[in-house]
Amino acid sequence: MTHFTDTVELNEFISGLPKAELHLHLEGSVQPEVWARLAGRNDPHLSVTPDDIREMLKYNSLSDFLFAFMALTSCFREPDDFRLAALECGRELARHNVVYAEIHTSAAAGLSIGIPPREIMDAVITGLNEARSEGGPEWGLIVDVIREMAVKDQGEIGLELAMEYRNRGVVAIGLGGNEAKIPTSEAAALFRAARDAGMHRTAHAGEAAGPESIRQALDIGAERIGHGVAAREDPELLCLLRDFRIPLEMCPSSNVCTGAVASMEEHPIADYLRQGLLVTLSTDDPPFFHTDMNTEYARVAEAFDLSPAEIIQLSKNAFDAAFGVIPKSGFRF
């Protein structure tokens, strides 16, 4: 470490920095203690401990992770579970000095767990507003469409929801799930309809598939890329991302846990930042990837010996890349 005397000084610098988080899944923000309570409540014969849940949070691939993500998400039974998840999510962000967050919710997937998606949206909005009234972050919602859950049907519902709630905090539609199984190009009609409706678009791409998936995302009209790790395999694409200032929502701990990169040290985030790409830093699904916002900044800063100016740049980039309107005054970088 050449820029800070020790990790204490680094951590203080990071926690004092106002941050914006652009890639965080609400369902992926729930802590093991809460999952254990929800699972036990749903099946009184089952005794589930937080340690049992922690055992589930180990994976070697994106598919394994998504399996755990979907299995745990099916523990939600009532809209109020979503309100509480959103309230806790906002409170946790505040603890990390995140002053603005764009939060993915897979509300359309509520159909498969028997909760009407609109009740989920209402509950999430209520929870995030409650958190904000306690000093939590300003927020925007991204309605996430999971590829595996039939892009076509869920996409329509997802876009309907996004449009219906755009005056209540929805800022974009997102495309999640496993790009290695269902190509990004399959969302072309969905993204075209979103663009025609004036709705912002972001897609997970270059996480479990190669640079062609990122190119497909741009071709179908994605304005931001979730992850984008694989861009380094295509130098022309890297130039394009830099020159057109396409924001990358990078989540290094997530990428290590799902095997998208072999280790934090091999992650391209610092190279991209130093090449002038519009790189932002997020947690994706924090307890699932054993991280949180301050930890994520600290891990990247330590692995790549980031200077204070580079750490600030990462944070500023997220404010610049936000879809929503952020009150930018009052933040001291």
Residues that are catalytic: 207
Part in contact with Zn ion (CB under 5 A); list of ranges 134-142, 156-164, 233-241, 280-288: 280-288
* 296: partner contacted, choices Zn ion, ligand ADE, none (Cβ within 5-8 A by kind): none
User: Where are any strands of DSSP class E within 255-312?
Assistant: 279-281
Rounded least distance, CB 139 to ligand ADE, Å: 18
Cβ neighbors of 77 (< 8 A, separation 6 or more) are: 38, 41, 42, 113, 115
Rounded least distance, CB 218 to ligand ADE, Å: 18
The answer to whether the beta carbons of residues 35 and 19 sit under 8 Å apart is: no
Residue with CB nearest Zn ion? 284
Rounded least distance, CB 327 to ligand ADE, Å: 28
28 binds ligand ADE (CB under 6 A): yes
The answer to whether the beta carbons of residues 140 and 170 sit under 8 Å apart is: yes
* 215: partner contacted, choices Zn ion, ligand ADE, none (Cβ within 5-8 A by kind): none
Contacts to ligand ADE from residues 284-303, by CB under 6 A: 284-285
* 96: partner contacted, choices Zn ion, ligand ADE, none (Cβ within 5-8 A by kind): none
The answer to whether the beta carbons of residues 192 and 232 sit under 8 Å apart is: no
* 69: partner contacted, choices ligand ADE, Zn ion, none (Cβ within 5-8 A by kind): ligand ADE
Cα–Cα distance, 137 to 11 (Å, whole number): 20
Cα–Cα distance, 187 to 190 (Å, whole number): 5
User: If we measure between CA atoms, which residue out of 321, 125, 91 comes closest to residue 226?
Assistant: 321
25 binds ligand ADE (CB under 6 A): yes
Cα–Cα distance, 163 to 233 (Å, whole number): 36
Among 207, 223, 249, 292, which residue interacts with ligand ADE (rule: CB under 6 A)?
207
Part in contact with Zn ion (CB under 5 A); list of ranges 66-74, 95-103, 125-133, 284-292: 284-292
E strand or H helix at 293: helix 293-304
SS3 label, residue 137 = coil
E strand or H helix at 193: helix 188-196
* 207: partner contacted, choices Zn ion, ligand ADE, none (Cβ within 5-8 A by kind): ligand ADE
Rounded least distance, CB 272 to ligand ADE, Å: 18
Could you list the residues that contact ligand ADE (CB under 6 A)?
A: 25, 28, 62, 69, 176-177, 204, 207, 254, 284-285
